[in-house]
Structure 1
Amino acid sequence: MTPIAPTCRRAARQIASHPQSDRLRKLLFALQYQQWPPQPPEMNEAQLEQILEAIVQQTQTLKGLATQLNFIVSKLNKAYVYQKVAAILQQILSPLYSQSTSVTLTKLELSMATLYDLRLEVTRYCTPLHVKLLLAALLTQKPVHAQWLERFTLIDLLQRVVGHFSDIEALRARVQQTLKRFDNDVAYANAGDRLIKVLYPLYSRSQPTVAVDVTPESTPTSLGQDGSDDGDELTCQLFA
Structure 2
Amino acid sequence: MDGVSFDLKRGQTLGLVGESGCGKSTLSRTLAGLITPMAGELQLDGRPAPLLGERKPHPVQMVFQDPYTSLNPRCRAGDLLERALIVAGIKEKRERYRIITQRLDQVGLSQSSLEKFPHEFSGGQRQRIGIARALLTQPSLLILDEPVSGLDVSVQAQILNLLVDLKHELGLSYLFISHDLAVIRYMADDVMVMHQGVIVEQASVHDLWAKPGHPYTCALLNESAACPHPLTEPGPVWRLAY
Please report the TM-score for the alignment, with normalisation by the length of structure 2: 0.26
The structure with the greater share of residues assigned to strand is 2
Please state which structure has a larger fraction of its residues in helix.
1
State the TM-score, normalizing by the size of structure 1: 0.26
